[in-house]
Amino acid sequence: QVQLVESGGGLVQAGGSLRLSCEASRSISIYRMGWYRQAPGKQRELVASFTSGGSTNYADSVKGRFTISRDNAKNMVYLQMNSLKPEDTAVYYCKALLFQSAYWGQGTQVTVSS
């Protein structure tokens, strides 16, 4: 089992940037890590993740603007978000997946003003 804590959310103007961090309580090297988000009244959706082969996968809506990265030595996963848009406003969650077991953080709010 792994505990995840997200940080780095906040209020930013459209066009701005934020960097989200996800700190894990144990080594993440064996987990498939990803970032998801949930806007008010909408379902939780994938933003970015690492595939089982170690490559990255992005939602079409964030391609070219967001970058997921990880530092296994520090048990950290990051989401660099550039050129933010009001439609990026949501609670962002970190997820760790190991086989069929999924672990989630508590989320961090990102609000983008127009």
The 10s digit of each residue's pLDDT in 57-82 is 999 999 999 999 999 999 999 999 99
Q: Which two tokens stand for residue 95?
A: 């997820």
Comparing CA positions, the residue from 27, 77, 23 lying closest to residue 50 is 77
DSSP class of 26: S
Angle at 41 between CA 84 and CA 113, to 5 degrees: 25
Residue-level pLDDT at 71: 95
Residue-level pLDDT at 53: 82
Tell me the average pLDDT of the chain.
96
Cα dihedral 74, 77, 81, 87, rounded to 10, equals -150
Residue-level pLDDT at 52: 79
Q: How far apart are CA 71 and CA 48, in angstroms?
A: 16
Residue-level pLDDT at 33: 96
Strand bridging mode 18-24 / 4-7? antiparallel
pLDDT at 10 over 90: yes
Residue-level pLDDT at 54: 82
